[in-house]
A and B are shown apart, each in its own frame.
Chain A
Amino acid sequence: MNNNKEVLIKVENLKKYFLVKKGFFGKKLTYTKAVDDISFEIKKGETFGLVGESGCGKTTTGRCIVRLYDVTAGNIFFSNQDIGHMKEKRLKPLRKEFQMIFQDPYASLNSRMTVSDIIGEPIDVHQIAKGKERQEMIYELLNKVGLSKDHASRFPHEFSGGQRQRIGIARSLAVRPKFIVCDEPISALDVSIQAQVVNMLEDLQKDMGLTYLFVAHDLSMVKHISDRIGVMYLGKMVEIASSKELYKKPLHPYTQALLSAIPIPNPDITAMRNAEVLEGEVPSPINPPSGCRFRTRCKYAMERCKEEEPKFVDKDNGHLVACHLLE
């Protein structure tokens, strides 16, 4: 359905390695391959979900796209401009276009600034408005995220977790971005508050024509909010599909295992569920397994998986998957 829409973000062979010092006095240098050669596209107006276990590189991917990290290799195109290797000076005016919402609403707001200062900061940095106009903008933003004018002069500690997350969202909207990376925006919130924030994100998307990259480990929520979903494992993308397709017909063994591990709030289903538990844990990204990275935990692993890395191929109209079994 989104096939003919314009591509907003295009990630090509993105790599991000972190330097790790090891050995005596840190003389031995190794790399953690947090993101290792992934490619995907995000279309205008859609929500792209990114899921995987901790350490799979989903947050790193999000941070690379908004250039909070310098990329090791690969290209990132934002509206056809290569921002992956752009110098900071040229990048700054573009930074208005893409923003980020962070996971922890307690750590991501400066506790010494008032709400008005927090939301006003990006407006000042990008010199969007001044004086009275600036103040009006702040009130409007507060209103948009369901807070009131009176909240503007308060400090973050006076708010609950959900309200703080709203302030974080207002801050990211201050520069009227086109694209927002939501890095686990609801995982620190209570169940009843999560739905409030998710609904608000959906409304804002409709009103302002936003595009989201939604990074999360809560697979039920990702399914709910995303149009398309990418599944990552140990720095690699293993499957991309529309969210309906992915949950109905997961192709990669890892996706299958991941989906079957979601606890379902229905005692009848959990009783019937054939309990097939994914054994073992994610190996270290410093020294990942050869070939297919999932092979050490995969029940279908063959000799070939060890020797050759599976290619990421289109199986069915935009359903991409990297697995030898399906070739």
Chain B
Amino acid sequence: MGEKLLEVKNLKTSFFTHLGEVQAVRGISFHIDKGEAIGIVGESGSGKSVTSLSVMKLLQYPGKIVGGEILFKGKDIVNYSNNKMLKIRGNEIAMIFQDPMTSLNPVYTIGNQIMEVIIRHQKLNKKKAREKAIEMLKMVGIPSPEKRIDNYPHEFSGGMRQRAMIAIALSCEPDLLIADEPTTALDVTIQDQILKLMKELKERIDTSIILITHDLGVVADVCSRIVVMYGGLVMEEGSSRDIFFNPQHPYTMGLLKSIPRLDLEEKKRLIPIPGTPPDLLKPPIGCPFADRCPYSMKICKMKLPEFFEVDMGHKASCWLLHPESPKMKLSTGVRKEEVK
């Protein structure tokens, strides 16, 4: 195991709305090592985006971190002032957002927006910053960057805008890159290009990546470790092979069974997860998945399960893994033999 770059401990984030406190993230812990790529998977409302915004400390009113620690390079950044965060944001931790159409400023040129970051964090003069910006655009694969640098975002296509976003994010060679659904708004062929680019750049700059997505295919491609979130909590964590071939939590199993698989030969009827995710205004006392879980027991609705270690680095929060729970054969997502 490498050196821990970021460690999140029991993070709790809430939004204080006029309806009451929405507990979007209810105490999650995970870590990321140097040079590693992890995926955070979950449905909308599972708290995955709020987690990333908490780490960046970009939560807007009425959102607030209400508990826990975020250790970045060993220092707790939860109580850092905004000024202190400005030095970290963009420089040491950078972020790519889902929608490249709205996250670039339409009234500044692409070059201007890349140079802004470089000038702020690297103390280069304008001319040098421009050279660096051209170099960055070239690195992310934008053709004739010398000309393109003076274009405005509307002159770029969706895929190129996302490339420009990556150029901005990586221009200061951050230690950690958080990508929040970076390819959801893009076509498959463009998604493929962007994912390949991210993998290449990860090797080149040696950046750690947190990839947040709902697409299990995308995480399988990029990440070596996966954190599955549901209802503001971590349900399961493990290497991507653990999660895909040996899932332990019924939610992970349900997710894997509900997607159509191109890699399996015959057509099977999809097995959906019944019901809808829990309301986080009144989060359930027990396991948030208990209402939709086919294996739900009495205790599941009464008490939140702790984490049970299945294997080295593979753990799941489910009562079924308790030594005293009834042993049964669960129908997991895919077994390796099924794959052609």
Binding site for B on A (CB under 8 A): 53-54, 160, 162-163, 190-196, 198-199, 202, 217, 219-221, 223-224, 247, 257-258, 260-270, 275, 277-279, 281
State A207–B44 Cα separation when bound (angstroms).
32
User: Which residue of B is nearest A162, CB measured?
Assistant: B276
Q: Taking the complex as formed, is B88 at the interface, i.e. its CB lies under 8 A from any CB of chain A?
A: no
> A278 is contacted by which of B160, B193, B273 (Cβ under 8 Å)?
B193
Contact between B263 and A269, CB atoms less than 8 A apart: yes
Contact between B276 and A53, CB atoms less than 8 A apart: no
Contact between A195 and B271, CB atoms less than 8 A apart: yes
List 15 extra interface pairs beyond A223-B260, A265-B256, CB under 8 A. A191-B43, A198-B270, A199-B272, A202-B269, A217-B187, A224-B270, A261-B189, A262-B217, A264-B217, A264-B261, A265-B217, A268-B336, A269-B220, A270-B221, A278-B192
User: Which residue of A is nearest B267, CB measured?
Assistant: A224
Q: Which chain A positions have C-beta within 8 A of B187?
A: 53-54, 217
State A217–B215 Cα separation when bound (angstroms).
14
Q: What is the predominant secondary structure among interface residues of chain A facing chain B?
A: helix
| Nearest Cβ on chain B to A82's Cβ, whole angstroms | 34
Against A, the Cβ 8 Å flags (1 = close, 0 = not) of B69-91 are 00000000000000000000000
Given contacts A191-B258, A196-B274, contact A281 B190 (CB under 8 A): yes
Q: Taking the complex as formed, is B244 at the interface, i.e. its CB lies under 8 A from any CB of chain A?
A: yes
Most chain A CB atoms below 10 A, which of B43, B220, B255: B220
Binding site for A on B (CB under 8 A): 43-44, 157-160, 187-193, 195-196, 214-221, 240-241, 244, 254-256, 258-263, 267, 269-274, 276-277, 334, 336, 339
Contact between B258 and A192, CB atoms less than 8 A apart: yes
Contact between A277 and B339, CB atoms less than 8 A apart: no
| Nearest Cβ on chain A to B187's Cβ, whole angstroms | 4
Contact between A266 and B196, CB atoms less than 8 A apart: no
Q: Which chain B positions have C-beta within 8 A of A279?
A: 193
> A190 is contacted by which of B214, B216, B262 (Cβ under 8 Å)?
B214
10 closest Cβ contacts across the A-B interface? A263-B217, A195-B272, A224-B260, A261-B192, A195-B258, A265-B216, A195-B270, A192-B273, A196-B272, A53-B187
State A266–B246 Cα separation when bound (angstroms).
12
